[in-house]
Amino acid sequence: MAYTIGVPKETVSGERLVALTPEVVLRLAKAGATINIESGAGSSAHYSDAEYEKVGGTITSRESALASDIVVKVQPPSDDEIALLKQNGAYIGFLSPLDRPQVSAALALRGTTALSMEMVPRISRAQKMDALSALSSIGGYRAVLEAATKLPKFFPLLTTAAGTVRPSNVLILGAGVAGLQAIATARRLGAKVSAYDIRDAVKEEVQSLGARFVELEIEAQDSSDSGGYAKALMEEKAKQQVELLIPTIAKSDVVISTALIPGRKAPLLISEAAVKAMADGSVIVDMAASNGGNCELTEPGQTVVRHGVTIMGGTNLPADMPVHASQLYARTLLAMLQDFTDENGFAPNEEDEVFVGSCVTRGGEVVHERVKSLLNQA
């Protein structure tokens, strides 16, 4: 008997993505799975029920989608959704396990084997499953577009009969996936771009995109961990960094901050003093707003004006581009499903580095050590 994969409609406010697109449903159906899609699950991403049915999907109720053998989602499941999951079934999707470990605890009580897309190890074989990078790239692109629409200036250099318009100065804080995409996008729009990161290792990547790498006189040795994430600076160095960034921020028309460390409050990079030093009409897009923000004046989920500067604290920029965001996310889920299912359904592999790294709950327990540690501290 074919195993079932459920795709419930996302209900978190502002979320427009769908976990599986028709393209991916077609491939899974051909592999023998029955795909139970809640009616309307893809509507906000511009995928109709008819499109899913055309490729072999089954349009069903919310209860049936959540009761499937394997459930795939974008946002972490709510308590109500967890209560509807099949006992001892499987879940693959985002979980925010380091920020919301209680979700993992609830899944463990349900007997769910849960794979967290945030915890997929950053190794070569797992690149096709790297949902965070895929969506971060979209976020970086979108952040620049949002800034360009709010800034009361042109981005590019313009020469007209009435005179020359100088290009805008754009500063990117953090040169990870989102930051690099933001650099590339701002450059394509003609801005003069600078970027700062505590990791000297990314200097060449920044320069290869045509941006100037900002270097501060600050001791930041060993500022990358083995997973490729920036480590939090020690408190004294962090304060020094904030102060040293003020002159560079003050010269910028747009600042896009992307510094985010999973499971921690976003590091402060833009102080109120830095905001005050910016020109009236300048724009800050804080991509770390969901974890408190890199800017001292950010209000998560809100766009505010402080000291004449527009500060945008959007918490889900990829949701503003749901067609391609859903396509990329669905492909990372497809890669997970292909690796951890067989003709009989979900196929856990305790010998697989990706499975072990991303598995948060199994056998009625939270099995991921970092998540378990957070729960023990609570």
User: Residues 242-249: what's their mean pLDDT?
Assistant: 97
Superfamily of domain 4-129+322-377: NAD(P)-binding Rossmann-like Domain (3.40.50.720)
Q: Report percent pLDDT > 70 for the chain.
A: 96
The model's confidence at residue 221, banded by pLDDT at 50, 70 and 90, is: low
Per-residue b or e along 254-269, where b marks 16 or more CB atoms closer than 10 Å to that residue's CB: bbbbbbbbeeeebbbb
Whether residue 214 contacts residue 173, with contact meaning beta carbons closer than 8 Å, is answered with no
pLDDT at position 2, please? 81
pLDDT at position 233, please? 56
| Distant-in-sequence, close-in-space partners of 31: CB < 8 Å, separation ≥ 6 | 338, 341
pLDDT at position 120, please? 97
pLDDT at position 263, please? 82
pLDDT at position 235, please? 75
CA distance 179 to 144: 10
Find how far residue 59's CA is from the centre of its chain: 28
Whether residue 195 contacts residue 172, with contact meaning beta carbons closer than 8 Å, is answered with yes
The model's confidence at residue 203, banded by pLDDT at 50, 70 and 90, is: very high
Whether residue 335 contacts residue 70, with contact meaning beta carbons closer than 8 Å, is answered with no
pLDDT at 227 exceeding the cut of 90: no
Least confident of 167-176, 260-269, 320-329, 348-357: 260-269
User: Residues 174-199: what's their mean pLDDT?
Assistant: 97
pLDDT at 141 exceeding the cut of 70: yes
Helix and strand numbers (H, E) in the chain are 13, 19
Whether residue 216 contacts residue 241, with contact meaning beta carbons closer than 8 Å, is answered with yes
| Distant-in-sequence, close-in-space partners of 318: CB < 8 Å, separation ≥ 6 | 17, 135, 138, 139, 142, 325
- Give the tens place of pLDDT for each residue, 77-127: 999 999 999 999 999 999 999 999 999 999 999 999 999 999 999 999 999
pLDDT at 238 exceeding the cut of 90: no
Query: Where in the sequence of the chain do the CATH 3.40.50.720 domains occur?
Result: 4-129+322-377, 137-315
pLDDT at 226 exceeding the cut of 90: no
Please give the positions annotated as active site: 122, 127, 130, 133, 229
Listed in sequence order, the DSSP H helices in the chain are 22-30, 49-54, 62-66, 79-84, 101-109, 131-150, 177-188, 203-208, 235-250, 272-277, 322-339, 353-358, 369-377
CA distance 289 to 315: 6
Full-model pTM:
0.92
In 3D space, the residue among 85, 79, 52 whose CA is nearest the CA of residue 67 turns out to be 85
For 195, the 3-state DSSP assignment is: strand
Helix pair angle (101-109, 369-377), 10° resolution: 100
- Give the tens place of pLDDT for each residue, 278-325: 999 999 999 999 999 999 999 999 999 999 999 999 999 999 999 999
- Give the tens place of pLDDT for each residue, 24-57: 999 999 999 999 999 999 999 999 999 999 999 9
| Distant-in-sequence, close-in-space partners of 371: CB < 8 Å, separation ≥ 6 | 97, 98, 101, 104, 360
pLDDT at position 228, please? 47
Task: Specify the CATH class of 137-315 in words.
Answer: alpha beta
Whether residue 72 contacts residue 333, with contact meaning beta carbons closer than 8 Å, is answered with yes
Whether residue 53 contacts residue 47, with contact meaning beta carbons closer than 8 Å, is answered with no
pLDDT at position 168, please? 98
- Residue 319 is encoded by which pair of tokens? 């949701």
- Residue 232 is encoded by which pair of tokens? 């939090």
Q: How many CA atoms lie within 13 Å of 224's alpha carbon, on the beta-carbon side?
A: 11
| Distant-in-sequence, close-in-space partners of 281: CB < 8 Å, separation ≥ 6 | 151, 152, 153, 253, 308, 309, 310
The model's confidence at residue 218, banded by pLDDT at 50, 70 and 90, is: confident
pLDDT at position 219, please? 62
User: Residues 266-275: what's their mean pLDDT?
Assistant: 97
